[in-house]
Amino acid sequence: MRVLDKRSRISRRGFLKSSAASTAAVGALSGGMVSLPALPAWAGSLKAIDPAAAKTLLVMVRDLYPHDRLGDGYYERAIAAMDEAAAKEPALGRQLNEGAAALDAAAQTQRKTPYAALKTEEERVAVLKSMEATPFFQKVRGDMVVALYNQPEVWAKLGYEGPSAELGGYLHRGFDDIDWIKEA
């Protein structure tokens, strides 16, 4: 039996982000100048990944694993996990920073703007396709699939109940629940 928590939860960080966006919108509408930082605040706490590279990586990972139901916080945690590994392995940190710079350079060459500033997903995917054979792309794609989908909070958002071995396995816990099929 599946039990999904469909309540909207807003974190302190999410509240502050939406408040900042609202302030910027009000300032723009009223003609006032409101300047927000160009780089996300969470990127400043990373140890091995540069803040500019973190911004590019966030957009890249959202394009690689797009889920409208997931806020940036889940992706930020995944990047922070990769940053922890990069702090222990300097070569990985260099690969991520240089790879993000190469992704921005490819976007500049193809679209005349940095990767994170590209407006449409189609434009960003075209740039990503041009880099998919690189070790940087393969590393980010491989590590992010684990770092993103290994978060129990993400499981709940995507409808996965989590491991069930300690609860008797799936055979007696929803193996044949097909409530998603509508009878005619």
Q: What is the pLDDT of residues 113-148, one digit of tens each?
A: 999 999 999 999 999 999 999 999 999 999 999 999
Average pLDDT score, the chain: 81
Kindly state whether residue 184 falls inside one of the protein's structural domains. Answer: no
- Is there a domain that residue 171 lies in? no
Greater pLDDT, 151 or 183 = 151
Angle, CA of 22, 36 and 113, to the nearest 5°: 110
Give the range of the structural domain holding residue 103, as residue numbers without chain letter. 43-158
Q: Is residue 16 part of a domain?
A: no
Token pair, residue 53, equals 């590279």
CB 161 within 8 A of CB 155: yes
Backbone dihedral region of 26: left (phi > 0), alpha (psi from -120 to 50 degrees) or beta? Answer: alpha
Task: Report the pLDDT value the prediction gives residue 35, as an integer from 0 to 100.
Answer: 36
- Does residue 102 lie within any of the structural domains? yes
Residue 81 lies inside a defined structural domain of this protein:
yes
Per the domain annotation, does 80 fall within a domain?
A: yes
| Closest among 92, 84, 70, 74 to 140, alpha carbons compared | 92
Domain tally for the chain? 1
Q: Is residue 9 assigned to a domain?
A: no
Q: What pTM did the predictor assign?
A: 0.70
Residue 76, in any domain of the structure:
yes
pLDDT digits (tens, 9 = 90+) for 43-63: 778 999 999 999 999 999 999
pLDDT for position 15 = 54
Cα-based distances in Å from 167 to 100, 162, 164, 171, 172: 43, 10, 5, 10, 9
